[in-house]
Structures are given as structure tokens and as C-alpha cells.
Chains A and B, each alone.
Chain A
């Protein structure tokens, strides 16, 4: 391994300074460079994420006391709808593939760009269009959508709030997601560097590949479903309207046929990031490479067959419930395979507790709690008790935020030096990790109790006996917000003031660490020829053995 002191290897300028066709802002928003598009996604996504965090904070503040605290019930309804829509459709689902997938995929497989660079830019434009539409709906007469992010019929075809722009936004964002998925699959099939066989690909690439298939195969279903809700509102075609013979339960089926696999769109890429980070900081060859790679595909496959576990209380045949419950349990197997392989990789490794690894450790703990409570929810008897309570809220926040969100932060801290060529302040980053982890658990863990005791989700008001737990959760939200604030300030100020990052600050073995930080415009001057797997730490392992 050669660790240069500066971020520059070649004489070529990095992609920020390279000659582009357009100047200034146009050089960004019309750029087809996968790295620039990745950065564009990152910036826009952090804006949306911040808006949704503020909405979440306001919701928690409202729940501090029973009855009215700061807003009216209708406003609270729009808060949880927008929080959900923005977090899910504008941050968690597109997040990892669009930001880190775009930036890292071509680098990791030794390519100069994705297969369809212009389509890639179109995806970002669609993303922006969808995001703006969602924001515009806030200010149109009629008020923001109040249906919850699930747009359940028949309420979503009757309410007078601005459901249409929200539906339109979700549809356009779906298109953006499909195009990204299509692009990545083609890229991985056609543009791997010579010698990069399937089983020499980094595991993040495998995760992106599995994710891309779900994006392509599941997203059209939500597309047609949302179109139908829109047609129902415009013309009254009756397909989902019980007044005309339509069946609202069918809406729920179609919605979850997409939206459950979407959970795996959210979690698979962070799992891939974890598989990247652990071998680097444990200085060990990853344990069970093929199992981790295949388990991504297994999760994508089995995860597509479990959707109706969201609907155990809406009316389904007992056989149906049985099958969906069983399939739900089966998804736990590939997920657990990953967790055990990560732990095994760390076992007897020479672990360096750097910031990315800290976030990964939080990920493993929180994802495990989220995953195991998911099994509780998949059990038919327990499900009926806790359906639509805070237990569900706690569960999916543990998976989506504690898992996918923290995975995103881990990736951000891991690839930050490569993406920006600067290094952030370690002490501030550790502080943000401590606060975010404590705040997160303080916010969501009590909700398991709250739900188990019977507090329904999405309710504006509650009985006085729930207040003490609500207070703990709200205080947790403040600690978490403080942690996020410190994290973002640290990352933003380091862009200017941070020291120049080395080419390979962590000692990674994958290809993105072989190019300058930040990389030059076309990534590789000469396409590398790959002769070994991605995580070859045998020299460290040998060294460790000699020391004994």
C-alpha cells in the first residue's frame, strides 16, 4: 500500500477543477460526470433531510404534552405526512445509490463513468422536479397532503388537501429511481475493469446491484398504483373506490408490493457500506465474501414476497397470513448471515476505532434491534397487539434511521476524504457520533414500550399515563438533533478548513483508494487490470501472526 501525503497522484486536475463544457453552476447542473451528479444529489438530499428532521422535531415537540402543545391536529397530520414523504421518497430510498452509488460505483469497478451518463443526469433532474413538486404542495391552496406517506384509499381520494402534487412527486421520484437502477445494472454488467470478475467486485457494488434490481422490478408497481389514485380523484374510475365496487384492500396490496421491497432498497446499500468499512478498519479479509454477496440477492428476492405482513389486520385468509408470516421470518436469515459475517471479520482483527467504524458499530446494534423487533411484528399474534402503535414506529425507525441513516453517516465519514479531498475534525465527528447514538436510542427505544402499552401511531392526543415516556422520547430528539447539527457543521467547515486528505487515509484496498482525492475527471488514466479480490489484507494478517 502506498499512502501519499497529498491528495494528488497524477498531474491531472481533480474533477472539481477540470475543464468542463459549461462554466459555473451550469458546469454542475448540466454535468454528466457521475462524481458531480453524486455531489449534486448529496447537497440536495441534505436540504430535504434537514427539512424532514425539523418536521420530526416539531412532531416530537407537539407530543411533549397531551392535547395541544404547539400546533392544531390538522397541522400535525400534514407534519407526519410530509416527514414521511420527504424522508422516504427524497432521502432514504434514493439516498445511498444516488449519492454514494453514483460517486463510487464507477470508481470501485474501474470504469470512467456509468453506462448512460446522460440518463444519470436526467435522473437527478427528475429527482429535483419531484422534490420541488412536493415542496410546492405545501403552499398551494388546500393545504399540504394529510394522508400519511402511504396515501391509503379511500381517504386519499376524498380529502381536499393537496394529494395530487404529492402523488405526482412520488411518481416522478419513482421514475428517477428506476433510471438510476437501470443505469447501475447495465454499468455493472458491461463496464467492469478487465479481471474484475463478479466475485472480485467490492461488496458495496453487490449491494447496489441487488438494490438496482428491486428498483427496477418494484417501482413500476407504485407508479401504476399512484396513477390509479390520481385517476380516481380526477375521473372516478372506481377501481379503488368502495362506493363503486372497488376494493381499498387491493390498493394496500399494490402499495406494499412496492413499499416493502423499498425497505430493502433503503437497507441493502448501507449493508454494503458496512461490508466495505469493517474489513478496512479491522485490517482483515472479509469473512464469508460469497455469503455476503449472495445474501444481498437473497434479501432482494425473498424481500419481494413478504409485503402483506403490513396488512395482517385488514382481512386476509389465514393461509395467506401464515405464508406471509413464514416468508417474513425467512428474510431474517440472509440479514443475520451478514451480521454474523461482519462480527466474524472483526474477530481477531487489529481494529482501528475510526469515525466510520463507530457509525458502523451503531448501525449493527441498532439494525439488530430493528430487525429482531421486525420478527416480533412478523409473528401473527404479536402483530395484532401492536399493529399501528408506536411499537411499529420504533421498529421502522430502528431499521431506517438507526440502520440506513447511520449507514449513510458511516459512508459519509468514510468517503468524505475521497469525495472532497479534505479531512474532517475527528474529535467533533466522534462527539456527533456519541450524541447521535445516545439521542437516537433515547428517542426511539421508549417508543417500543409506548406501543406495547397501547399508544397508537399518528395520534395527535394521548392519555396522561403515556406522558412520561413521551417526554423521554422528545428529549432524545433534541440530543439527536444536536448530534446531527455538530456533524453537519463539522463536515461543512472542514470543506474549507480541513487538512488536505491523503489518497488513501484509511488503508483501503478497493479501487477508489487508488486514485487521487478528489479523483480526476475521468477517474483512471489507465484502466486497471484486476488480479485479486477486493479485501486482501493477508499481509497484515501475516504480520500479526509473525508478531506472535
Chain B
């Protein structure tokens, strides 16, 4: 066995952007499968109760859903642009774009808050007498609706926190023109939040 004289692999502080991105993608797989479990449940229950799912879906506000979809899609664009900006060394522009993303995420959550609040006002929330009076398929629809959009909203919150940390990193210069794999990973996470919504939106709002 021979040994290299050159120390080709310094530990702690080694730099391998491809490896970091592989790790991030693997993590995204786990997130997709986490939601995958919910999508299986949705599919099974929709198959079992097509009529009741149809009726329950009419109670959701397609307009609010559409607005939120547009907000999220645009926020994915701004995050992608912030990565391009830092690649060109435009630090302030990159931070402004991330800030815009976070604001849009906030707008999404505010809409979601009013949407849920509206449901609660109508007596539709888990274990409410009004909901329990409905047939099983509708109870399941709203059960899935609250769990899936709730879990998604939680991911939006985590994503916002991640993006704020990225802004701090850019400000401090940890993320810079030469090294911005962290921002790319954060961006990937934000796109995940986006893509899950792209599936939630038609399943709950559009299919009547």
C-alpha cells in the first residue's frame, strides 16, 4: 500500500460543494416522503369517499388559494435570483431579494391565518360539533386539510428562519461570491416548500 504525500483531504473545514448539495438533496428526499405519507392517506380516503370530498372541497376559497400559490411561486423566483446575485458579488441585492422572499412567506402565512380563522368561525375545526355532525368523508377531508396545510405552514416558518439566517451569513460575509453553497442549500429548501404547495393547492382547492 502506498500513501500520498500530499494531504488531499483536510478534515474539518474541507470544502466540497457537490457533497454538501448531495446531503441537502438527501434531506429533501426525506421531506418529500414525509409528505408522501400524507398524500397516500389523501389518495385512499378520496377513493373511499369521492362524493363527500367533492362537497367539502367547495367550502374552501379558491381565490385565497390562488393568491397564495402566486405568492409562493414568486418567492421561489426571488430566492433563485438572490443566489444569482451573490454569484455576481452583489451582496446588497442578494440580501434584498431574500428579504422580499421572507416578506412573501409572511404574506402567505397571514392569508393562511385568515383562511383557517374563517373556517373556525364557521365551526369547522377538529372535534367541533358542527364538523362531527358531517359525514365521515367530510370530517376526513378537513382533518387532512388542517394537518397537511398546517404541516406545510410549519415548513414555511422553518424556511423563513433558514432564509433569515442566510441573510445574516451574507451580511457577515460567511456567504460570499466565492462560497455560497449554504445559500443554495437554503434555496433548495425553499423550493421544496414551494413544490409541496404546488401539489396541495390542486388537491384541496381545485378538484371539486
**Measuring CB to CB, which residues of chain A are less than 8 angstroms from any residue of chain B?**
32, 111-113, 115-117, 119, 178, 181-183, 185-186, 189-191, 193-194, 216-217, 219-221, 223-225, 227-228, 231, 235-239, 244-247, 250, 254, 257, 514, 522, 524, 526-531
Contacts and interface: CB of A to CB of B under 8 A. Distances in A.
Contacts of A193: 9
B147 A190 contact: no
Given A221-B36, A527-B9, A247 B44 contact: yes
Interface in B1-35: 1-5, 7-12, 16, 18-19, 22-23, 26-27, 29-31, 33-35
Contacts of B120: none
Contacts of B27: 178, 182
Contacts of B87: none
B146 to A, nearest CB: 6
B140 interface: yes
Contacts of A217: 29-30, 33
B139 A244 contact: yes
Contact of B34 (A182, A220, A246): A220
Nearest to B144: A239
B137 A245 contact: yes
B147 A239 contact: yes
Contact of A254 (B1, B8, B16, B40): B40
8 contacts: A115-B23, A221-B36, A244-B132, A514-B1, A528-B3, A528-B4, A529-B2, A530-B1
A219 B34 CA distance: 8
B37 interface: yes
A237 B136 CA distance: 11
Among B30, B36, B126, B140, find the residue whose CB has the most chain A CB atoms closer than 10 A.
B30
Given A216-B26, A254-B40, A528-B2, A113 B12 contact: yes
Contacts, number: 132
Given A113-B11, A239-B147, A250-B44, A225 B139 contact: no
Contacts of B165: none
A238 B139 contact: yes
Contacts of A528: 1-4
Given A254-B37, A528-B2, A185 B26 contact: yes
A531 B1 contact: yes
Given A191-B9, A245-B139, A224 B19 contact: no
Contacts of A224: 34-35, 37-38
B30 A220 contact: yes
Given A235-B126, A245-B139, A189 B11 contact: no
B36 to A, nearest CB: 7
Interface in B133-161: 135-137, 139-140, 143-144, 146-147, 151
B127 interface: yes
B143 A237 contact: yes
Contact of A238 (B33, B36, B143): B143
Contact of A117 (B10, B12, B33): B12
Given A220-B36, A239-B143, A528-B3, 8 more contacts: A182-B27, A217-B29, A221-B34, A245-B137, A246-B140, A247-B45, A254-B41, A526-B7
Given A190-B18, A235-B126, A529-B4, A221 B33 contact: yes
Contacts of B19: 115, 186, 189-191
A237 B12 contact: no
A236 B4 contact: no
B74 to A, nearest CB: 28
Nearest to A224: B37
Contact of A526 (B3, B23, B126): B3
Contacts of A522: 11
Contacts of B30: 178, 182, 216-217, 219-220
Given A185-B22, A250-B41, A238 B2 contact: no
A182 B23 contact: yes
B41 A239 contact: yes
Nearest to A112: B11
A235 B142 CA distance: 12
Contacts of A220: 30-31, 33-34, 36-37
Contact of B8 (A117, A225, A527): A527
Nearest to B42: A239
A227 B150 CA distance: 12
B137 to A, nearest CB: 7
Interface in B80-139: 126-127, 132, 135-137, 139
Contacts of A228: 41, 147
A224 B19 CA distance: 27
Nearest to A190: B19
Nearest to A228: B147
B8 A182 contact: no
A111 B30 CA distance: 26
Contacts of B1: 514, 528-531
A465 B29 CA distance: 52
Given A237-B146, A254-B40, A244 B22 contact: no
A122 to B, nearest CB: 12
B136 A244 contact: yes
Contacts of A181: 26
Given A116-B23, A224-B34, A244-B140, A236 B8 contact: no
Given A113-B12, A186-B19, A221 B37 contact: yes
B31 to A, nearest CB: 7
Which of the listed residues A116, A244, A524 has the most CB atoms from chain B within 10 Å of its own CB?
A: A244
A216 B30 CA distance: 6
A193 B34 CA distance: 34
Contacts of B41: 228, 239, 250, 254
B8 A194 contact: yes
A12 to B, nearest CB: 13
A115 B5 CA distance: 22
Contacts of A189: 19, 22
Given A223-B34, A247-B44, A250-B41, A239 B127 contact: no
A527 B7 contact: yes
Contact of A183 (B23, B36, B126, B140): B23
Contacts of A191: 9, 19
A221 B33 CA distance: 6
B147 to A, nearest CB: 6
Given A113-B11, A244-B140, A231 B147 contact: yes
Contacts of B45: 239, 247
Contacts of B16: 115, 190
A112 B1 CA distance: 18
Contacts of A524: 3
B180 to A, nearest CB: 18
A96 to B, nearest CB: 20
B22 A216 contact: no
Contacts of A250: 41, 44
